Amino acid sequence: MFKARYLLQAVILALFLGACTAAGTAPVLSAPTPAPSATPQSPTPTLAPTPIAIQDGSGQTVRLTRPATRIVSLAPSNTEILFAIGAGSQMVGRDQFSDYPVEAKSLPSISTSMGSLNTEAVVALQPDLVLAAPTLAPEQIQTLRNLGLTVFLVPNPTDFDGLYQNFANVGTITGRGAEAQALVSRSREQVAAVEQVIAKATSKPKVFYELDGSDPGKPWTAGPGNFIDLLIRTAGGQNAAAGLKESYAQISVEELVSQNPDVIILGDSAYGISVASVEARPGWNVMNAIKNNAVEAFDDNLASRPGPRLVDGLEAMANLVHPELFK
């Protein structure tokens, strides 16, 4: 296992760098299933060369003479936003972790590793826009700018409004403003539907979200002040790791037993951690989640990638935290 540890550490680093933030009959929602295909990618819009000036997540004012048509995305979340607003056809390259939607895999991949970026590969694609993320250190972003590239840093949101603003900003710089606003509207409606159901909850189960259980004695988890924590709370739960000092940290089994979570959600289930293996961990059988068979596998991409699927993650998590409301 662990290729798993490397991938999960990459997720933790990406999120850590971005962290800082009933009336009527409720609709019955079911756990989301991935769309079989991405939003149809229409041809690049033929717009007049209207200048664009917009502030990015680093506080820099990014200027374009016209909407970008040759885009390199350096984060899976950025790639998913581009495809969700129909701008996938404007991409010329991606980072190697951008694997959704499936259409993204056909684009040239820029190999990166923890702490490094293949700037030569980026330059060779001749992009008119590079969409960066907090996974890149500020000096790496500046290196790209020093090479004459236009870089827009898409910040990791700490709330849903920040997520919607990212959609709108990417829509502006790609000439897909209308499509971005449609995505914002759909996302708001989906979140509101979940909140309407959760408003009927009579309890707030304590939830432990596991990011990396390769060391079962001190698993990695999401503490306070990050989007996973927000998803847990919006889904009607309490974060069992809310008392940790860091947004992403390890928690001891002793502390976890003390917190006694009602639900355990395995964000590392794609990396070899199974429900059965968690239930068999020494000392874990005293927790309510184990006693009540409330250990659940979860697609961590729905919580750890700050893109359009975060609202799907909220819906899926709400189904796990309050299954009695989603029957």
Structural domain of residue 264, as residue ranges? 2-22+203-325
Percent of the chain surpassing pLDDT 70: 84
CATH number of the domain at 10, please.
3.40.50.1980
* Domain co-membership, 160 together with 232: no
Look at residue 40 and tell me if it is in a domain.
no
Look at residue 77 and tell me if it is in a domain.
yes
Closest residue by Cα to residue 198 from 321, 107, 24, 19: 321
pLDDT at site 10? 47
- Residue 17 in this model has a pLDDT that exceeds 80: no
Pick the last residue of a domain from 127, 158, 191: 191
* Domain co-membership, 318 together with 220: yes
* Domain co-membership, 56 together with 187: yes
* Domain co-membership, 161 together with 207: no
Confirm if 59 and 105 have CB atoms less than 8 A apart: no
Residue found by looking up tokens 């959760």 in the block: 198
Look at residue 32 and tell me if it is in a domain.
no
* Structure tokens given for 208: 């432990």
Q: What average pLDDT does this structure show over 308-322? A: 97
Q: In terms of DSSP H, where are the helices of 55-176?
A: 76-84, 119-124, 138-146, 160-174
Confirm if 35 and 173 have CB atoms less than 8 A apart: no
Confirm if 152 and 95 have CB atoms less than 8 A apart: no
pLDDT at site 11? 47
Alpha carbon separation from 202 to 155, 197, 221 (Å, rounded):
35, 11, 26
- Residue 242 in this model has a pLDDT that exceeds 70: yes
* Domain co-membership, 208 together with 179: no
Number of helices (H) and strands (E), helices first, in the chain? Answer: 12, 13
* Domain co-membership, 59 together with 179: yes
> How many C-alpha atoms does 26 have within 13 Å on its Cβ side?
20
Torsion angles phi and psi, residue 109, rounded to 5:
-100, 130
Q: In terms of DSSP H, where are the helices of 85-202?
A: 119-124, 138-146, 160-174, 177-198
pLDDT at site 38? 53
* Domain co-membership, 212 together with 261: yes
Pick the last residue of a domain from 191, 224, 247: 191
* Domain co-membership, 61 together with 177: yes
* Domain co-membership, 91 together with 207: no
Look at residue 30 and tell me if it is in a domain.
no
pLDDT at site 41? 67
Pick the last residue of a domain from 191, 215, 247: 191
Distance from C-alpha of 31 to C-alpha of 313, rounded to nearest angstrom = 9
> How many C-alpha atoms does 89 have within 13 Å on its Cβ side?
11
* Domain co-membership, 158 together with 79: yes
Closest residue by Cα to residue 97 from 165, 204, 3: 3
Q: Give the total number of structural domains in the chain.
A: 2
- Residue 155 in this model has a pLDDT that exceeds 90: yes
Closest residue by Cα to residue 188 from 208, 168, 218, 216: 168
* Domain co-membership, 186 together with 248: no
Look at residue 174 and tell me if it is in a domain.
yes
pLDDT at site 1? 43
Residue 135: band (very low, low, confident or very high) from pLDDT cuts 50, 70, 90: confident
For 203-217, the pLDDT digits (tens) are 999 999 999 999 999
Residue 206: strand pairing partners: 238
For 269-286, the pLDDT digits (tens) are 999 999 999 999 999 999
- Residue 266 in this model has a pLDDT that exceeds 80: yes
> How many C-alpha atoms does 281 have within 13 Å on its Cβ side?
25
pLDDT at site 16? 39
Look at residue 43 and tell me if it is in a domain.
no
Q: What average pLDDT does this structure show over 229-253? A: 96
Task: Identify the helix (H) or strand (E) that includes residue 238.
Answer: strand 238-239
Reduce the DSSP state of residue 110 to 3 states and report it: strand
Q: What is the 3-state secondary structure (H, E, C) of 17-33?
A: HHCCCCCCCCCCCCCCC
* Domain co-membership, 230 together with 260: yes
Closest residue by Cα to residue 88 from 79, 96, 75: 79
Torsion angles phi and psi, residue 102, rounded to 5:
-60, -30
Look at residue 46 and tell me if it is in a domain.
no
Look at residue 29 and tell me if it is in a domain.
no
Torsion angles phi and psi, residue 56, rounded to 5:
-100, -175
Q: Which residues lie closer than 8 Å to 62 by C-beta, 6 or more apart?
A: 52, 53, 54, 55, 56, 150, 151, 152, 173
Q: In terms of DSSP H, where are the helices of 66-137?
A: 76-84, 119-124
